[in-house]
Structure 1
Amino acid sequence: MGRKSTIERGPAEVRAAIDKLIRKGQLTLDEIRKYIAEQHGAEVTPSRSSLHRYTAQQEAMLDKMRAIDQAARVVVEELGESPDDRAGALLVQSITTLATDAAMRAQVDENAPSIEEVRKLARAAKDVMGARKASLQERIQIERLARDKLLQEQSDKLEHMASEQGLDSDQVAFWRREFLGMRGGPAS
């Protein structure tokens, strides 16, 4: 790797400002230099050629990041998820993070994970998310069954007490509606 640019070696706040302006993509190099000189001083303003090289590097990195994000969306769609729903968005973010890490490490380490390994990790993440979703649905079903059973028991007790106490059908309907939260007849 080459040596760091004067921008990378300069003050962090100047680099952050330059990065932000590059991401916005609305100013020319001269306008960026002018802005930095006005905001941070002429002594920390990078040369035009330095700014040009740095901008080219940053734009290349942003292009790679966009490509990784797009590839992650394609993988999520291949796995049968929608990249726009919450689970799909989480999966896209996870794959993007894994792929970005793999791409960065591949530049300096030949043992970095391959794209195929990232794809396998994405499949595993999808399987975990599917298992969690199934588990949640099972819990909801168990809760529903428990509630139905409790309501049936309470309704049976109400019927028994109504016959012992001599309550009429309007009184039983009132207790069933107001205290058991049931509409209609027994166990509804």
Structure 2
Amino acid sequence: MARKSSIDRLPENVKAYVTGLLADGKMTLDELIADLQARFPEEAAADALPSRSAVHRYGAKLERRLAAIRASTEAAKIIRAQAGDGEDARSEALTALIQTELFEAILDVQEASADEIDPAERVGMLSSAAKNVATLTRSSVTLKRFQSEVRAKLEAKMAALEAEGSSGKGRRFDAETLRIVREEIYGIV
């Protein structure tokens, strides 16, 4: 097993400080090393602080991780903005796809002859499939409940806007505009 890096062997408070400075990116490596030596004189005196090259390697690894996190966060923001999925329709589609595949796999197992699949193995496969179906069913029920709650909240807000618009108080909303928003944008009929 490889030896831990000198950064990983630092006391937790020192490691957190180094990580914070590297993530901040406002200091050069030389400035960071000088700052560490000034801030942690006991570790510097004991020669326990990492070398410039160790800090550089750790910083490069940290930057790769941070870049991956930034990229996935940005992708999630773009997907959310472009595919506004307040009701989580993607999860619904994924669950349906997996349920279909499991159903087909179960049919294949049932249709296989005793020569193709050992009866004990068949029972094990069906048992495993049943557990997965149960998990998917719970997931589907939870998703449907969530979608229903989102729909109810949306309908309540739209009704409140319609009432506010027709009462003459506060903001004024044209009934046709609200109908378009309700039916064409949110799909509520």
* TM-score for the superposition, normalised by structure 1: 0.45
Compare relative contact order (CA 8 Å, sep 6+) and give the higher one, 1 or 2.
2
TM-score, normalization by structure 2: 0.45
